[in-house]
Each structure stands twice: as structure tokens, then as C-alpha cells.
Structure 1
Amino acid sequence: MGVDFILNFALYSFIGWMMETIFASTLQRKFINRGFLRGPFTPIYGFGAILIVISLNWIFIPTQNTSVLLISKLILSTLLVTVLEFITGFVLEKIFHTKWWDYSENFLNLKGYICLKYSLLWGMLAFLLIRIVHPVIAEYIYLIPESTKRYVAVFFVIYFILDTTISVISALDLRKTIIHYSDLSLDIYKEKIIKYKRIFFAFPRLLLLNANVLNRDVRSILNDRIDKIKDEIKNRFSD
């Protein structure tokens, strides 16, 4: 069972990353690796899916009515994922002193971490998960030989430990760079901002960091870098 949970977590994290990346890339008309980790996984989707599956198996809902049972599961799933999103947003802001996403302008939001619009979206995804996606995935995972599943699970555990460690170290270094910018020379500061450009493009809210600080505006530094690259490309083709 534990091995199956690991495989489900990895698969749902990948599916979540694909959805987020396709959505962000479509909006910005360029490829955006929309995730905290370096690899193609967004763990909050993996945790959310596993949380829903475990909760619906363990929590008893006292009714035999199929419609009432389904609606109850959807409401419970929506609440669980919404709470998970709130906790994640709260923790990230406490660590990095800025919101990684902000729903403050959305109707019925709570401190900008969650809002009705996205909670309803999670509810729709939970419906698809419960009724369509998970039954199919669970069946295919069941068909995989146990020995193969164990090897794959070990691989994913090692991978997630390494990727999470590297990503957290990078994020903490970025936090230190942003907060203690005055301790760094302008050149070193710019190098670090450019080094972590993937994180800024993945979470556009972070582009507002140090917006009012002379020569330390993250958005301006990245835009200047992009302009320089464009000029270099033009010069190469014009020569």
C-alpha cells in the first residue's frame, strides 16, 4: 500500500505540473516550468490527491444515497485541498516574507491564500479524480508487478529527496539575496537574480520583490537580461 501511495503521489504531482505548466505557458506564450521543484513535479497536487483518496477511504459518511454520498465526498475533498493550499501559501509567506500567489482581488478570498473561484476549481478536479482519474490509475498501478513497483518507488523517493533539498537550498539562498541585498555588490546581486529566473517566471508575484529599491528591482534586472539576449541574437544574424 505504501508503495502504491508513492507511485500515486509521483503521478499526480506530474499531472499537476503538466496542468500548471500548460496553463502558464499558454498565458505567457513561452515555456514556463511552473513548479517549486526543478523537475516536472508539483507536490501540492500529489499531496492533495493522496489526501483526498486516504480521507474518503477512512472517513465514514452515514448515508446510502449515491448522490448525497458523492456530493459529501466532493465537499470534503474541496475543503481538504483548500486547507492544504492555505497552509502552503501561509508557510511560504512566513519563510520568504512575500506571497507566492495572491488571490486578494478575487471574490471571497481569505488573506489572499485561497478564494472561492479556485476552491470551486479544486472541487471540479476532485470530482474528476474521484469519478474518472483515480479508478483508472489505481487499476493500472495494481497491474504492475510488486518488484517493479518497489524499484520505481525507491527511485522516486530518492529523486524527490534530492530535488526537494536542492530546490529548498536555492529558495533559501534567493530569500537571503532578496532580504540582505545591501550586503551584496550590484553585480553579484544581479547574477543571483538571473540564476533564479526560473523561480521568478514560475511565480510572477515574486517579480515585485525589491520593486522600490534603486538598482535592485527584480523585474527590471530580468527584463534587461532578456533585452540583452535579444540584442545578441539580432547582432549574430545581422553579421
Structure 2
Amino acid sequence: MELSKSIKKTYLYFMMYAIIGWCYEVFLEVVVYQWGFTNRGVLFGPYCPVYGFGALAFILCFGKIMKKKEPNWFVYVKPLIIFMGCAFVATGIELVASYMLEILTGSWPWQTYADYAINFQARIALSPSIRFGLGGLLFLYILQPIFEKVIYKLGDKKVSILFYAILFPFILDLFVKLFKMVS
């Protein structure tokens, strides 16, 4: 039973960050770059799964460090370690995702990195990596503790309802996208 609860909570975290990632991408596209609106996700819904995977990777890699009591001097070093670690992890995920999407779809959505001064094959670039590091700090220090409290306050029954209410449309979206790719 405990594993089931853990899976549901983990999936809800995944989706929260996938949706936040989509909002972030749309904000950049519409407000910052003024390109106009397009769906920034690889699926049809308002989510970018790569951000959900990135958030789960942050929890896996840095969750224990965040909760651990540290010596006084480490308080000043920890944010720098978290920043650099998140930038590295997220950039690695983005690089792997670009290769996977290219294999599956023939391209990847963020080919605009070719215009960045420091980039690798237009797949990853320094500027987004820095933003990912800053986003990781925001995520681990502010958002994740809030989400953990919200999920805890919802209780098991509401978490289950929310889990299934979000899971089924996501799976349907995934199957529709896969069907369109193969047909």
C-alpha cells in the first residue's frame, strides 16, 4: 500500500512540474521572445514531460542533501552545489531527450539553440543550462516543499482521485501522439 501511495505522489509531482515547464516555455515564447503562441510540448496537452523528468531527477539526486542537517559553513556552499548539480542534470536530460526525440520524430523542439553563442549541436546551450540551475534552486528550495505540504494535506483519497483524473488523459494523449507518429 505504501508503494502505491509513493507512486501516486511521484506521478503528481511529475505532472505538476511538466505543467510548470510548459507554462515556462510558453512564457519564454510569447513574452520574452515574442514569437507568438504554439504548444511547446511534444504531446497535445499543456505539459512538457522533460520538465517532469528533470524535477524527479532533482529529487532523486538532491532530495537527501536538501533535507540533511549540515554544518554551518555548508549552508553557504549548498546552494552553489545545488545550482551546479541541477544545471548539469537538466542539461544532460535535455541532451538525451533531444537524441530520443530525433530518433522518434525526426527532430527536436528546441533547435533554436543554434543561435546561442555557446551550444552543442543546437541541442544544449550554456544560457538554458544556467536557467535550469536557477530553476532547480527555485524548485528544491521553494516549490517542492510547498507541493509536499499540499499533497500531504489532500489526504490519500483525494490524492488517488487526482492521480487517476490526471493519469488517464495523459495516457490517452501519449497513445494518440504515438498513433499519429506511426501512421
Normalising by structure 2, we get a TM-score of 0.84
1:28 equivalent to 2:35? Answer yes
Question: Aligned partners of 2:133, 2:114: CA distance in 1, in Å?
Answer: 20
Aligned to 1:235: none
Q: 1:161 to 1:7 in 2, by over 3 A?
A: same
Letter aligned with residue 4 of structure 1: K
Aligned to 2:89: 80
- Give deviations 1:101-139, integer Å, cap 9, x for gaps: 222332221222101111001111111111211111211
1:170 is displaced (CA, Å) by 2.0
Range moving further from structure 2, 124-133 or 101-110: 101-110
Q: Match for 1:149 among 137, 159, 165?
A: 159
1:99 is displaced (CA, Å) by 4.1
Aligned to 2:52: 46
8 Å contact from structure 1 (residues 78, 122) kept in 2:
yes
Question: Aligned partners of 1:78, 1:84: CA distance in 2, in Å?
Answer: 10
Q: 1:71 to 1:48 in 2, by over 3 A?
A: same
Q: 1:43 to 1:152 in 2, by over 3 A?
A: same
RCO greater where, 1 or 2, for CA within 8 Å and sep 6 or more? Answer: 2
Aligned to 1:192: none
1:166 is displaced (CA, Å) by 0.7
SS of 2:109's partner is coil
Q: 1:167 to 1:152 in 2, by over 3 A?
A: same
Unaligned runs of 5+ in 2: 1-5
Give the RMSD, CA atoms, in angstroms.
Answer: 2.2
1:58 is displaced (CA, Å) by 5.0
Question: Aligned partners of 2:22, 2:51: CA distance in 1, in Å?
Answer: 8
Q: 1:110 to 1:28 in 2, by over 3 A?
A: closer
| Aligned-residue identity in percent | 25
Q: Match for 2:171 among 161, 174, 184?
A: 161
8 Å contact from structure 2 (residues 83, 137) kept in 1:
yes
1:53 is displaced (CA, Å) by 1.2
Question: Aligned partners of 1:11, 1:100: CA distance in 2, in Å?
Answer: 21
Aligned to 1:4: 9
Range moving further from structure 2, 67-76 or 142-151: 67-76
Letter aligned with residue 40 of structure 2: R
Question: Aligned partners of 2:168, 2:18: CA distance in 1, in Å?
Answer: 15
Question: Aligned partners of 1:94, 1:11: CA distance in 2, in Å?
Answer: 27
8 Å contact from structure 1 (residues 6, 156) kept in 2:
no
1:14 is displaced (CA, Å) by 1.1
Q: Match for 1:94 among 103, 121, 126?
A: 103
1:44 is displaced (CA, Å) by 0.9
Letter aligned with residue 178 of structure 2: V
SS of 1:104's partner is helix
What is the correspondence of 1:204-215 to structure 2 with a 5 Å cutoff? none
Aligned to 2:114: 104
8 Å contact from structure 1 (residues 93, 100) kept in 2:
no
Question: Aligned partners of 2:51, 2:127: CA distance in 1, in Å?
Answer: 17
8 Å contact from structure 2 (residues 19, 46) kept in 1:
yes
8 Å contact from structure 2 (residues 94, 124) kept in 1:
yes
Q: Report how many aligned residue pairs link the two structures.
A: 172
